[in-house]
Amino acid sequence: MTSTESPFNRLDYTYKLLVVTALTIVGVVLAQDIVIPLMISGILTVVLLPLVKRLERKISSALAITIVLLGAFTVLILAGVLIVNQIASLVRDLPGLETKFNSWVDQLSSSLQSELGMSVTEQNQLLKNSLTTLGGYATGLLSATTNLISLLVQIPIYILLFLIYRGRVKSFLKKLLSDEEELAWKKDVENVVQGYISGLLLVTIIVTALNSVGLLILGIDHAIFFGILSGLLTVIPYIGIFIGALLPVVMALLTKDSLWYPAGVVIIFSIVQFLEGNFITPRITGSKVSINALAAIIALLIGGKILGIAGMILAVPALGIIKIILLHTTHLKHFVILIEDKPVEKPEQENNEPSNL
């Protein structure tokens, strides 16, 4: 007597999938202090892995890991020194900027009172509300800075341990999955993560250079610092460069006598955003991740809601990994159509469709 496989129950499968997804999201939110450094460390480990493997062909594994980590930290330290020097230069100019800001506020207050009829009491109330909002943002920024310091301590340790024990992870995957499945997943995930992160680094350098040159041409003070800041903010797709444009616009308003300068800053950042979104990023990282704009924006919103800024940064590479998982899942691979950035194939016309006479 032959046994037949039980039919696929789509309703039961969907119910279980939703339950697992909900529990996963709740777990990530509750344990985000643990999850965020682990995710960042895992992604950076995959990026550094090819260098480690290349060195392991000539030297011992321990020495290869040490050299790669020291090289990576040296680059980060040099970049940090450059940024700190730019920040120190900006801090030295703060007293003069504060005086100009107070003068600008007085002029704005006079304009509001004469043009819009807004009384001093109404202006003070508006200012109070604005300061309350800014205070909330400042508190969030302070918290983010504290978390960043914690991440800078945890991430190197996790990367070191991931590189040392990667053989155990590989053995675990071989036991959990068949050899063909394990090799396919490993290769695809590595390609997505390595391609996206290396491409993102190149995009960041290009955007930094373009914004810095544009601000220098306009004569904006601390142009290099604002260029670096805007470049770093490109790790948040679509909206990062707009956030990076805010500070140089304010600097132009405070230090220049003409409104053409802040308008010029807006024009420069708009041009760079156009080039980055339509030419630079699609050619550098688009082919690696292949995620359409709608899916990326939704991922950004969900990631930001769950994990804040870190979630927005990790959203696109995480979505790329999810796409790979969906491709290797029998009942979910059709969802890839909603994620990938490839033209949808048109269904072939049926043979019995009447032709036009």
Greatest alpha-carbon span in the chain: 94
pLDDT reported for residue 210: 92
pLDDT reported for residue 67: 93
pLDDT reported for residue 211: 92
Bridge partner list, 340: 291
pLDDT reported for residue 304: 83
Sequence letter at residue 40: I
Query: Which DSSP letter does residue 117 get?
Result: -
pLDDT reported for residue 3: 47
At 291, phi and psi to the nearest 5? -125, 130
Distance in Å from the first CA to the final CA of the chain: 57
Count Cα atoms within 13 angstroms, Cβ side, for 320: 22
What angle in degrees, to the nearest 10, is found between the helix axes of 240-255 and 260-275? Answer: 160
pLDDT reported for residue 234: 80
Task: Tell the burial category of 131 from Cβ atoms under 10 Å away from its Cβ (0-12, 13-18, 19+).
Answer: exposed
Output the CA torsion 72→78→80→82 (10° steps). -150
Task: Report how far residue 181's alpha carbon sits from residue 178's, in angstroms, rounded to the nearest whole number.
Answer: 5
Which pLDDT tens digit goes with each residue over 238-272?
677 788 888 888 888 888 888 888 899 999 999 98
pLDDT reported for residue 217: 92
pLDDT reported for residue 84: 80
- Which residues in the chain show pLDDT less than 70? 1-8, 94, 96-98, 100-149, 173, 176-186, 237-238, 285-289, 342-357
